[in-house]
């Protein structure tokens, strides 16, 4: 019975974090309240507080969940691909597969920015919210780079992907996925990971 209860608790936690992200994206951070999040998830504010202490914590959980998902996908990328090729493979697959707006890279970037903007004293820059948890999965694909060089490289890759995808997402609908793929590939060609 406890397995079912744990599954239900995890589903409620996910529903709350996704509701927070939806409100932040659809209505902006000014409308992101605990009451609004709870209502969107179909629970009471008391239930919200059983899972999170703040709206910021709910958004951070959304980001963490998306990053965990990316790490698991990164683990499925062929092992013989280096870091740049593996990131390209992952991002291109995401673009070609199609994704809900909430599960897109665009949403991940935007939620990170919103979280940084509403957090009174952020503990670290918003890119670290996404990048740091990816380091353990990406380090094995960076042979010859020490921890510092690998960290800088991953931040460079993250920034390049962000610029390429933001350019793609600004294009009018319907967007040609292959234009996005081309932008991703062009941005990665500008990075040299030689130590």
Which pLDDT belongs to residue 35? 97
Q: Domains in the chain, start-ordered, CATH in brackets?
A: 55-189 (1.10.357)
Which pLDDT belongs to residue 176? 94
Q: Which residues in the chain show pLDDT less than 50? A: 124-125
Which pLDDT belongs to residue 12? 96
What is the SS3 assignment for the chain?
CHHHHHHHHHHHHHHHHHHHHHHHHHHCHHHCCHHHHHHHHCCCHHHHHHHCCCHHHHHHHHHHHHHHHHHHHHHCCCCCCCHHHHHHHHHHHHHHHCCCHHHCHHHHHHHHHHHHHHCCCCCCCHHHHHHHHHHHHHHHHCCCCCHHHHHHHHHHHHHHHHHHHHHHHCCCCCCCHHHHHHHHHHHHHCCCCCC
pTM summary value? 0.83
């Amino acid at each position: 019975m406890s397995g079912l209860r744990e599954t239900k608790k995890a589903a409620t936690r996910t529903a709350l974090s996704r509701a927070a992200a939806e409100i932040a994206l659809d209505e902006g951070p000014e409308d992101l309240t605990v009451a609004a999040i709870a209502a969107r998830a179909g629970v009471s504010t008391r239930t919200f507080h059983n899972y999170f202490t703040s709206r910021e914590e709910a958004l951070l959980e959304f980001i963490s969940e998306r990053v965990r998902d990316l790490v698991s996908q990164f683990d499925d990328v062929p092992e013989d691909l280096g870091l740049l090729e593996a990131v390209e493979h992952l991002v291109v697959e995401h673009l070609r597969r199609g994704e809900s707006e909430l599960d897109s890279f665009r949403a991940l970037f935007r939620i990170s920015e919103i979280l940084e903007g509403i957090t009174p004293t952020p503990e670290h820059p918003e890119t670290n919210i996404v990048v740091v948890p990816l380091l353990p999965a990406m380090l094995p694909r960076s042979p010859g780079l020490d921890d510092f060089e690998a960290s800088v490289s991953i931040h460079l890759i993250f920034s390049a992907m962000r610029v390429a995808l933001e350019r793609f997402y600004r294009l009018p609908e319907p967007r040609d996925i292959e234009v996005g793929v081309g932008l991703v590939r062009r941005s990665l060609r500008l990075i040299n990971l030689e130590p």
